Structure 1
Amino acid sequence: MWYNIDFYIWAVNLLVIRLRKPKMIAFVKSLVTPIVNIHYDFLQKKAIDEFILNHNGQVCYLRKALNDVFDNELRRIRIGSGNQYNRQYIYTRAEQKPVYLGKIYIRDKSAFADTGIDYIVYVPKKILASRELELIKWIEIFNEAGTAYKIIGE
């Protein structure tokens, strides 16, 4: 493509042939080095932008993108549904409903179906402890508008 340029070779080729001595070539390369650094930063940013554009907020693409960035070899990051548990209510005597509740488990308030959590990202604890802010940043990049998520360490 047009952006794949070797600035060192380009600068040396622009020199007059009789000036292409080792000292002059080294001098010209030192002058071109800042442009080469900017070009390298451009290529890195372009690669990240292409990665983001090739993925979206669908579950399969989000899982693939997170595994590519954080757990490329073992691919242990999973995405589950946010609607997990139905609530159990305790009724008053005036409502005349059964009092027997059976087994009740204490759960976080975001684990129930009506809390607005659309999906849960299951991440290994080691990755969550070391790169949590980066993980949140990548999820926010791919998160669709109006959807809420929760990160759980496994």
Structure 2
Amino acid sequence: MWYNVDYNKLGVLLLPTFLRKPKTIAFVTVLIEPIKDLHYTWLQKRDFDWYRLKHNGQLCKLRKVLNDNLDPSLRRIYIDEGTAFPREYIYTQAENKPKYLGTFYIKSQDEYENTGVDFIVFVPQSIIDSNIYQLKYLLKYYKLAGKRYMIQLI
């Protein structure tokens, strides 16, 4: 590609043929070294930016980003859809509804429809202890706007 440049070869090729001696070539190589370092830094930044552009808020790609950054060897982080239970109401006598309540399960406020979370991230305890802030940063950066999440231990 256009950005893959061999600066040592370019420096030698730009020298006139009568100046292509070992000492002159070594001198030009030393002069080119800062440009090579800058080019290497640019290539690293370019690869990082391409990685960010290739991944988005889809759950499969979000899981890949989290595993790449936080758990590259074991890849234990996974994402599941959030729970959305319908609310159950207790009626008053004026509403003339049946009083039988049935079996109730206590749920947190995050587990109900329209108030809950859109996806749940399951993470091992060791990652939460060491990299909780990086985990939250990656989730905020890659998730879609308006989506809510909850982090749970595996």
TM-score, normalised by the number of residues in structure 1: 0.76
The 1:21/1:151 distance shift into structure 2, 3 A limit, reads farther
Aligned to 1:21: 21
1:18-97 mapped onto 2 (5 Å cutoff): 18-83=18-83, 97=99
Deviation at 1:99, TM superposition (A): 7.1
Assess if the C-alpha contact under 8 Å between 2:119 and 2:150 holds in 1. yes
Aligned to 2:118: 118
Aligned to 1:144: 144
The 1:127/1:97 distance shift into structure 2, 3 A limit, reads same
Task: Name the amino acid aligned to 2:62.
Answer: L
The 1:132/1:50 distance shift into structure 2, 3 A limit, reads same
Assess if the C-alpha contact under 8 Å between 1:63 and 1:77 holds in 2. yes
Q: Are residues 1:153 and 2:138 paired?
A: no
Deviation at 1:78, TM superposition (A): 0.7
Task: Name the amino acid aligned to 2:18.
Answer: R
The 1:78/1:12 distance shift into structure 2, 3 A limit, reads same
- The separation in 1 between residues aligned to 2:104 and 2:145, in whole angstroms, is 39
Deviation at 1:77, TM superposition (A): 0.9
Q: Which runs of 5+ in 2 are unaligned?
A: none
SS at match of 1:146: coil
SS at match of 1:121: strand
SS at match of 2:118: strand
Assess if the C-alpha contact under 8 Å between 1:55 and 1:65 holds in 2. yes
Aligned to 2:135: 135
Using the aligned pairs only, state the percent identity: 45
Q: Which runs of 5+ in 1 are unaligned?
A: none
Task: Name the amino acid aligned to 1:150.
Answer: M
Assess if the C-alpha contact under 8 Å between 1:118 and 1:147 holds in 2. yes
Task: Name the amino acid aligned to 1:60.
Answer: C
TM-score, normalised by the number of residues in structure 2: 0.76
Deviation at 1:143, TM superposition (A): 1.0
